[in-house]
Amino acid sequence: MNAETSPSPGARNAAELYGRISQDADLTQSLFRQALQDPSGALARIVAIGAEQGLNVSTGDVKAHLASLEDGATNQWLLKARGGL
């Protein structure tokens, strides 16, 4: 891949972080519930989880990754949490 098509470090980290979070059902549900009440807080929490795991991401990285997914559950989350995203 050339530099123009290579994903940024933040995009790669967001994808890795998404994979890790999605493997933890309790965390996934907790984030979903938080997103329904406080979407921006859920994003901040995702960014903080990434930092704890050495996967630095911005809220923009997280939003872009979520928007790129073709996953029904994620799309449902996005629809319900859209107000804060």
What pLDDT was estimated at residue 35? 85
In a domain, 39, yes or no: yes
In a domain, 17, yes or no: yes
What total of structural domains would you count in the chain?
A: 1
Q: How far is CA 77 from the centre of its chain?
A: 11
Say if 80 falls within a structural domain.
yes
pLDDT at 63: 87
- The domain of 61 spans 9-84
- 16 near 8, Cβ under 8 Å? no
Residue 59 lies in a domain: yes
Whether 49 is in a domain gets the answer: yes
pTM for this predicted structure = 0.80
Q: What is the pLDDT along the chain (85 residues), one digit of tens a residue?
A: 444 567 899 999 999 999 999 999 999 999 988 988 888 899 999 999 999 999 999 999 998 898 888 777 777 766 766 655 4
User: CA of 72: how far to CAs of 11, 20, 48, 77, in Å?
Assistant: 21, 18, 25, 9
